[in-house]
């Protein structure tokens, strides 16, 4: 397994992050525990979750599953860099969402209880809160750090100017601020390159991409449809129709390179200088094994150029707006 620093922090994390959103609703607990054991045994030490994961009828379910995994012992908690998130609505009570000082305190204590641990390594804001001032947010986080309940702070789904706003507010308080940003980033969705990635690099945030295969569209979907393995419906089918020519060209290129489409999509992210660790969210052991395999895929300059020709990015960001 390969490891790197999380942004400008001294924290070392694996180049793959285990996403747990499927644990509970899609993957039963015993299988989820087996996947986590396998991930840790393979060297993955970075685990991401959120307080809302588990579905509308059972928010917190995923954290509970992870907590029972920790409770099995065997230094499971000690071997993991644990990241969770708050922001989403947990109940119908007015202060059970977003980033008020009150919700930060209550949500953090509830997550700690569900996770059966006394601290969170990286506590992330699942979205920007436009109604709560940053001084209030950072004061609440500083208190939690002083209490030993969290060690680092991260953001998710922030715009570039949100990152700048958060970091400048933290600097005024002589506080460390954010160390990571978690956003959708993949070959089909590269608008992060315009401002979010430049902001993250400027302020020393590690980028943790979610949906690296864009819901499976970069995982060989056309081949799977031809083989009768998978059939897309609804929104996914509409997205495939819109990008079918690109995806077909991509699958042909990957076949020429001698790799699987999903492996190359993950490997491409690992070749991007701003990326710390893509989040892989396996429902099965086989999907985890495939993600780990991507670590061994090396893409040379010619392969990267050919991929960029199919999925053009923003090579001069943020100056793309001007020239």
**Structural domain harbouring 265:** 3-216+261-301
- Whole-angstrom CA distances from 259 to 68, 98, 181, 288, 308 are 37, 42, 29, 16, 17
The CATH number that applies at residue 159 is 3.20.20.100
pLDDT of 231 over the 70 cut: no
Residue 120 belongs to some domain of the structure: yes
Residue 78 belongs to some domain of the structure: yes
78: how many CB neighbours lie within 10 A of its CB?
8
Q: Are 280 and 18 in contact (CB under 8 A)?
A: yes
Query: Would you state the pLDDT for residue 241?
Result: 87
From the candidates 53, 123, 185, 250, which is the catalytic residue?
53
Q: Does residue 87 carry a catalytic annotation?
A: no
Residue 317 belongs to some domain of the structure: no
Residue 295 belongs to some domain of the structure: yes
Q: Which DSSP string do the residues of 158-185 spell out, in sequence order?
A: --HHHHHHHHHHHHHTT---EEEEEEE-
pLDDT tens readout for residues 150-206: 999 999 999 999 999 999 999 999 999 999 999 999 999 999 999 999 999 999 999
Instruction: Return the residue matching tokens 């065997």.
Output: 74
Please state, rounded to an integer, the average pLDDT across all residues of the chain: 95
- Among 20, 16, 8, 121, CA closest to 69: 20
Residue 252 belongs to some domain of the structure: no
Residue 20 structure tokens? 């747990």
pLDDT tens readout for residues 56-93: 889 999 999 999 999 999 999 999 999 999 999 999 99
Domain count, the chain: 1
Residue 158 belongs to some domain of the structure: yes
Q: Per residue in 119-142, is it b (16+ CB within 10 Å) or e — as a string?
A: bbbbbbbbbbbeebebebbbebbe
Residue 127 belongs to some domain of the structure: yes
Residue 22 structure tokens? 């499927």
The helix, strand and coil proportions of the chain, stated in percent and rounded to the nearest 5, come to 45, 15, 40
- Whole-angstrom CA distances from 249 to 232, 256, 297, 300, 302 are 19, 11, 19, 18, 16
pLDDT tens readout for residues 208-224: 999 999 999 999 999 88
Query: Would you state the pLDDT for residue 233?
Result: 65
Residue 72 belongs to some domain of the structure: yes
Q: Are 149 and 119 in contact (CB under 8 A)?
A: yes
């Amino acid at each position: 397994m390969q490891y790197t620093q999380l942004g400008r922090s001294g924290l070392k994390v694996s180049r793959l992050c285990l996403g747990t959103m499927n644990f509970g609703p899609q993957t039963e607990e015993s299988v989820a525990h087996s996947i986590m054991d396998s991930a840790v045994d393979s060297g993955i030490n970075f685990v991401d979750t959120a307080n809302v994961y588990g579905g509308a009828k059972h928010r917190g379910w995923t954290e509970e599953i992870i907590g029972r995994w920790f409770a099995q012992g065997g230094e499971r908690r000690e071997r993991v860099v644990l990241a969770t998130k708050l922001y989403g609505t947990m109940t119908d009570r007015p202060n059970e969402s977003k980033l008020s000082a009150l919700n930060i305190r209550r949500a953090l204590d509830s997550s700690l209880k569900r996770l059966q641990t006394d601290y969170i390594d990286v506590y992330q804001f699942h979205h920007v809160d436009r109604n709560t001032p940053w001084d209030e947010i950072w004061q609440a986080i500083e208190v939690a750090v002083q209490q030993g309940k969290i060690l680092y702070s991260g953001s998710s789904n922030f715009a570039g100017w949100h990152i700048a706003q958060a970091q400048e507010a933290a600097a005024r308080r002589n506080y460390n601020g954010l160390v990571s940003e978690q956003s959708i980033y993949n070959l089909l969705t590269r608008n992060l390159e315009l401002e979010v990635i430049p902001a993250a690099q400027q302020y020393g945030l590690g980028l943790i991409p979610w949906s690296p295969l864009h819901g499976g569209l970069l995982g060989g979907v056309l081949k799977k449809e031809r083989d009768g393995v998978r059939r897309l419906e609804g929104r996914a089918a509409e997205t495939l129709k819109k990008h079918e020519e690109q995806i077909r060209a991509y699958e042909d290129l990957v076949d020429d390179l001698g790799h699987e489409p999903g492996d190359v999509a993950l490997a491409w992210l690992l070749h991007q200088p701003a990326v710390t660790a893509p989040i892989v969210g396996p429902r099965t052991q086989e999907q985890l094994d495939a993600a780990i395999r991507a670590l061994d895929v090396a893409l040379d300059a010619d392969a990267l150029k050919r991929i960029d020709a199919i999925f053009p990015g923003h090579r001069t960001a943020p100056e793309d707006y001007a020239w």
